[in-house]
Amino acid sequence: MKMTTGGAAKLDGGSSDEADSQESLRERRIRTSTLYADVPPIDNFVLHPLPGVIRFGCWNSQICFIRHPFDAGKWGHIQSYLVDEHVINARNIVEPREATAEDLLVVHSKEYLESLKQSYVVAGIIEVPPVALLPNFIVQSRVLQPFRNQVGGTVLAGKVAKERGWAINLGGGFHHCCGGQGGGFCVYADITLCIQFAFTRLSFARVMIIDLDAHQGNGHERDFVGDDRVYILDIYNSQIYPFDEEAKIRINQRVELRIAKQAFKPDLIVYNAGTDILDGDPLGQLRVTPAGVTSRDEKVFEFAKDAYENPVPIVMVTSGGYMKSSARVIADSIKNLVSKRLITVGAVV
């Protein structure tokens, strides 16, 4: 799907000469949101959202395999592996609140959100044609609500990262969606929302996005065109979707973390850790091994911890990669982060 609109959506469809009032409306929406829930003061890390709530109901993998290699239980499987292997326990899991329409309007246009009341529009965005045949109330409850839960998770992760140093959202990472348009399985712009909330509620001034999913993160790139508070490092396979040449102008640097370090000092890092770079993923078409994914994640967390004078809070989202092996690979990588003391987990009993 090609993007046809650029930049963050105008709030309430206002014209550009109403920018000040739109900005104050955006700020009011952020400040009155309840997505920044209090997280229990446990001395360990937080994974969220609760993956068990993210299901695709009546869908089965066969339907989703029409266009995507899709392990609908990916998020739950990651949690199960980590709990079963005593890396975390239930106390380490925080269930986020669902992003409301007012929350989503911080970034998205009313027109775009309205368009999601047409099942065929959602079917096009998530590239699952049979969804077009479902009544929209089913699409809302089975498809969009789980996505909104994940959006709530990414937003909350920013707050948790500031309080605890880091947070991992087992979902999220919808990096093809911008304020005005979705695409590529991405319905809501959770990364943009996370960052806008962090600017307003956490007093962060500068945010770095490190996007290492196999695909170009054209959604957040479009949302932050002209916004030099955000530095974007994006490594991706240029031979696959989305071929968004226009959005590429917003990428500051494409390869080396050390160059990013010299160029920009962030208050927060948002790490889009897609596993569609794995060998065998039919969408990513790259050939990275599971050990390579572990090494990649380790390097990014090391960067957040050691690159600057003080550790930089980091939010990780899991983004693309829905092969059956993805959950195992992600869980192993998190275990490695724990064993290398790059993230700290409280007592697990």
Residues that bind Zn ion (CB under 5 A): 213-215, 274, 276, 320
H and E: helices and strands count for the chain: 13, 6
Q: Which residues of 286-306 are buried (b: 16+ CB within 10 A; e: fewer)?
A: bebebeebbebbbebbebbbe
CB of 305 to Zn ion, least distance (A): 26
Rounded Cα distance between 235 and 288, Å, is 13
The tokens for 310 are 């003080």
Give 136 or 285: the residue with its C-beta nearer to Zn ion: 285
**Runs of H (alpha helix) within the chain:** 19-32, 61-64, 74-84, 101-104, 110-115, 119-126, 136-139, 145-164, 190-201, 218-223, 257-263, 290-306, 326-339
User: Among residues 181 and 218, whose Cβ is nearest to Zn ion?
Assistant: 218
Question: Minimal CB distance to Zn ion: which residue?
Answer: 320
Instruction: Return the number of the residue (190 or 276) whose C-beta is nearest Zn ion.
Output: 276
Q: Which is nearer to Zn ion, 198 or 277 (CB)?
A: 277
Active-site residue set: 176
Closest CA to 150 of 113, 103, 212: 103
- Minimum distance from residue 255 beta carbon to Zn ion (Å): 18
The minimum distance between CB 216 and Zn ion, in angstroms, equals 9
In angstroms, rounded to a whole number, what is the distance separating the alpha carbons of residues 68 and 295? 26
Q: How many CB atoms lie within 10 A of CB 249?
A: 8
Element at 175 (helix H, strand E) = none
Which residue, among 201, 81, 95, has the nearest Cα to 152 in the 3D structure?
A: 95
Closer of 134 and 315 to Zn ion (Cβ): 315
The encoded tokens of residue 139 equal: 């699409």
